[in-house]
Amino acid sequence: MKPVRALISVSDKTGVVDFAKSLYNLGIEIISTGGTARLLKENGVPVKEISELTEFPEIMEGRIKTLHPKVHGGILSKRDNPEHIETMEDLGIKPIDIVVVNLYPFKETVKSEKSFEEIIENIDIGGPTMVRAAAKNFKYVTIVTDPSDYKKIIEELEQTGKISLKTRFYLAKKAFNLTAHYDAVITDYLFKVNENGEFLTEPPEMRNPLTITFEKVQDLRYGENPHQRGAFYKEIFIDEPCISTAKKIHGEKELSFNNIYDIDGALNLVLEFDPNKEKVCAIIKHANPCGIAIGNSASDAYEKALKVDPVSAFGGIIAFNCPVDENTAKLITERFYECIIAPDYSEEALDILKTKKNLRVLKLDSMDKLINKGETSPFDYRKVVGGMLVQDRDLITLDPEKLKVVTEREPNENEWEDLLFAFKVVKWVKSNSVVYAKDGIAIGIGVGQTSRVDAAKCAAKKAKEMGLEMEGCVLASEAFFPFRDSVDEAAKVGVKAIIQPGGSIRDEEVIEAANEHNIAMVFTGIRHFRH
């Protein structure tokens, strides 16, 4: 069926003038509203105002203009239903065959830090109503919500005089996806603020049902494996330092699924450390750190981190919480890495890194964590088959004043520094995990073992293989020791202090083992399982 009438009411006016002209030249009557109508008239497109169609004025500052039976009857009528046709004739309703609508810029209004009243005013009502009506009636009506589809519509009309059912169905799916996303964005924002529009100081409630939405950043070459499809999506109101806000400033290849996952882990690890106090480098492989250290400079931190496990570092991800200078860049380019992320790079460093065409270089504007909950991601989402696990992010930090020394011997000053360092590191190691640390270097990292004592043994074995001196080191465990065996293993390699959550039914047995070996032990009361 050849379309005879189009309703155009758009917030994003990209390409709409040329599109409307093409429709008019094809003999299609144009109906429009407000600013869209003015723009089209100014550009010589004959337009019928919506109030002429409805015989009712736009009222309440434009809040009500298309919410009218002559609009929705024209959109929703079944063209082959005699009863619908009769009703239209009796009430003077004319069919609307093409609906061109995109929605008020709610997301952009929030991001531009407008007043709460302006944000609420940018919740579109008439637009989504028309979009849903036209999409529901795709058998007869074409809904156009994306300016990138204008060309396709005109080409079909010029070639065949109509728009195919296949195209109408495709556009309807896009339309419902748009309105679902739009409502989810509004919901996400409203659950982060109070009734006065002030951002909450605590994570929002876990609502039921859960509606979440993400915007696609890019399609990926593949997922974890070549036979899996992959794409990267980002949350909406996010402005904290994270992979979604990082900018790729060099690298011919696009980031892969595994690159992005590993960068996330590396970045979260270095963000544990205050960039104004400590220069930190972390090297990540398969989502686990294979080296992390504090240094006097970026290059010093990198060299110390690399010594922990230079074999595993091959093809890894490097993260810094401090700018990368020329000397550091020279050291990095001596080896093969997939990606590097840092808050900044000197000109000389960037020139050197760019000599590696496949090294992806990412930059963050800041490494400072945000306090504003409206701009941070409050939850972790873990997909399982048939469902989703949701939890608060593990953002808790140690308060040194609340740590409890449970042994006869207390840690000395150097041990305290290493204990706090190691506990920050072990938080980002897959469970069961332990970390040995000495002088601000994670000299042994035991990852993903099914028993804690195995994690302790593996980490010590790796440290010894790399020729690292363990005598006088400390040990951190992300969860309590269920038995004393891990303490006994730690004593064998020269551990002098241990930090762990505590809370085992055998805590007394574990503490007794530490006292026997003259090891200081500190309880944090905080567990950091990471599956």
Residues acting as catalytic residues: 136, 286
Q: 484 φ, ψ to 5°?
A: -80, -5
Under 8 Å between Cβ of 23 and 30: yes
Radius of gyration of the chain (CA): 30
Neighbours of 253 (CB within 10 A): 13
Sequence-distant (6+) residues with CB within 8 A of 57 are: 51
Strands 520-523 and 497-500: parallel
Say how far apart CA 379 and CA 34 lie, in whole Å.
Answer: 40
Under 8 Å between Cβ of 504 and 447: no
Going edge to edge, which strands form the sheet with 98-101? 48-49, 29-32, 5-9, 98-101, 142-144
Say how far apart CA 339 and CA 341 lie, in whole Å.
Answer: 7
Question: Nearest 10 degrees: CA dihedral of 304, 305, 307, 311?
Answer: -160
Residue with tokens 């003999």: 27
Say how far apart CA 447 and CA 235 lie, in whole Å.
Answer: 29
Instruction: Please state whether the peptide bond connecting residue 432 to the residue before it is cis, i.e. omega within 30 degrees of 0.
Output: yes
- Buried b or exposed e, range 301-329, using 16+ CB within 10 angstroms: bbbbbbbbbeebbeebbbbbbbbbbebbb
DSSP strands (E only) in 467-506: 474-477, 497-500
> Quick one: DSSP state of residue 106?
H
Rounded to the nearest 10 degrees, what angle do helices 34-42 and 16-25 cross at?
Answer: 70
Say how far apart CA 12 and CA 433 lie, in whole Å.
Answer: 51
Say how far apart CA 94 and CA 265 lie, in whole Å.
Answer: 58
DSSP strands (E only) in 107-165: 142-144
Instruction: Please state whether the peptide bond connecting residue 128 to the residue before it is cis, i.e. omega within 30 degrees of 0.
Output: no
Q: List the structure tokens of 30.
A: 């144009």
Under 8 Å between Cβ of 425 and 291: no
Sequence-distant (6+) residues with CB within 8 A of 162 are: 1, 2, 3, 156
